[in-house]
Homo-oligomer: A and B are copies of this chain.
Amino acid sequence: MDRFVSRVAIIGAGPSGLSALRAFSQAEKTGVKVPEIVCFEKQTDWGGMWNYNWRTGVDEFGEPVHSSMYRHLWSNAPKECLEYADYSFDQHFQKPIPSFLPREMIRDYIVGRACASTLKKYVCFNSVVKHVEFDDDRKHFTLRFHNLVTGKSRSENFDYIIVAVGHFSIPNVPSFDGIDSFPGRILHSHDFRDARQFTGQNILVVGGALSAEDIALQTYKFGAKSVTISYRTKPFGYDWPPEIEELPLLTHIDERTVHFKDGSKRTIDSIILCTGYKHHFPFLTEDLQLQTENCLYPDQLFKGIFFQRQPRLAYLGMQKFYYSLPFFDAQAWYLRDVILGRIVLPEEEDRASDIRLWRERVKQLSGPSEGIDFQVDYARQLLDVTDYPKVNLLAAAAMFKLGRVHKQENILEFRDKLFTSPFTGTPSVANTVRWIDAKEDGIL
């Protein structure tokens, strides 16, 4: 770093932005001088994707709605894999709770740690970043943001930009032959809000990853007449209940009839496209935009964080993740230490070699189990060089994998399983009802 970083912008106060704020706050508590930090959050509150919003499409300010959150969402991995090393579930909830939690409890935990660190003073809410460019002459970034409530825009200069906007907000919405002729409702999972809107219907869920899996379960749970999952590469292969089936990719749509690659056809009421999301950074000049699909190691990001062409631009949380909250901490603590000058980035060529090495490793991975191990290795090399409290990564990996085994055994009951926190030794306790019967949407 060629000069002291005095002013840092964080774009987004969701989980990864909050991890960054926490990292700096923790350093400051030890008496270390930290840069001035401004976090720009376009929503009214922090929490990012964990903020449920009944609105879909564009919001009351004409901005694309950030939220893809829906009612009745529960975590899809044990909470014990998501525990912050410096803020335990015991510390937050003050009592034993189940391993699988509804969305509000996860949000509560994430913002609970933020509140404990009094991080709100760093955050400008209702402030959407509109344009960021690097001034080559003055060697700083100019960031223009817009206050959605006052309608006023302003520009400020920063030495360092941290992009923490997530990558599950801008839907990837492919077209299909004949989709124009379909009279029923078509929506992307981004706009899915409540499975009760599909009770009694014959649903088509298009996709093969976590959104498709969970939305199929949700709509089934809340009484869809039938759920057809149409996969592109391979089926989930779970032992689904009779109402849920898997077919290969649809080939074309003819009014209410959907035709599939294996010759099947179904009469469908609504189509839910669980076809993923885009990494999308329209507020950055093109030369600063990360271009990537959803993967374990995006190109052009040294240590999965530092933008190769402009290392004063960092991206947090841009990976496909098995392993989330402490993973964001691992990145945030490392990033903080680079900014503070504790860790020095290598030269550009060495950074490029390192990126290549990690991406080569990704190509060798044979499936999710190896993906989990990879992500744990990735987190370990970040954690090893910072003062983040010790994380039992092997235990985390084991719990992720066991969670996946439970899914394969029984897709309707995996969320009833119990785990124990590697940090506190506290075992989880069973919920009063099984997940499949839990129809309320709130704190347990």
Residues of A within 8 A of B (CB): 54-60, 62, 64-65, 71, 130-131, 146, 151-153, 170-175, 179-180, 182-188, 190-191, 193-194, 196-197, 270, 278, 280, 282, 285-286
Contact = CB atoms under 8 A, between A and B. Distances in A.
> Assembly of this chain: how many copies?
2
A137 to B, nearest CB: 18
A17 to B, nearest CB: 20
18 contacts: A54-B180, A56-B187, A56-B191, A57-B58, A57-B64, A57-B191, A58-B64, A59-B173, A60-B172, A62-B170, A62-B278, A64-B64, A71-B183, A153-B285, A183-B194, A184-B197, A185-B197, A186-B193
A270 to B, nearest CB: 8
B280 A62 contact: yes
Contacts of A55: 173
A285 B153 CA distance: 8
Q: Which of A62, A146, A186 has the most CB of B within 10 A?
A: A62
B286 A171 contact: no
A411 to B, nearest CB: 24
A285 B171 CA distance: 28
Contact of A171 (B57, B151, B193): B57
Contact of A60 (B54, B152, B173): B173
A175 B278 CA distance: 29
Contacts of A180: 54
A153 to B, nearest CB: 6
A346 to B, nearest CB: 30
Give the interface centre of A65, A191, A280 by most chain B CB atoms within 10 Å. Answer: A191
A379 B54 CA distance: 42
A54 B270 CA distance: 13
The 5 closest A-B pairs by CB, nearest first: A57-B57, A62-B170, A183-B196, A62-B280, A185-B197
B282 A188 contact: no
Nearest to A57: B57
B152 A286 contact: yes
A290 to B, nearest CB: 13
B186 A54 contact: yes
B62 A179 contact: no
A185 B54 CA distance: 9
A267 B286 CA distance: 50
A276 to B, nearest CB: 12
Contacts of A130: 282
A193 B174 CA distance: 18
B282 A54 contact: no
Contacts of A188: 57
A146 to B, nearest CB: 8
A428 B401 CA distance: 71
A130 to B, nearest CB: 8
Contact of A286 (B56, B151, B173): B151
A47 to B, nearest CB: 15
Contact of A54 (B170, B179, B190): B179
B54 A153 contact: no
Contacts of A71: 183
Nearest to A191: B57
Contacts of A184: 194, 196-197
A170 B64 contact: no
Contact of A183 (B186, B187, B197, B285): B197
A270 B199 CA distance: 13
A251 B186 CA distance: 30
Contacts of A194: 183-184
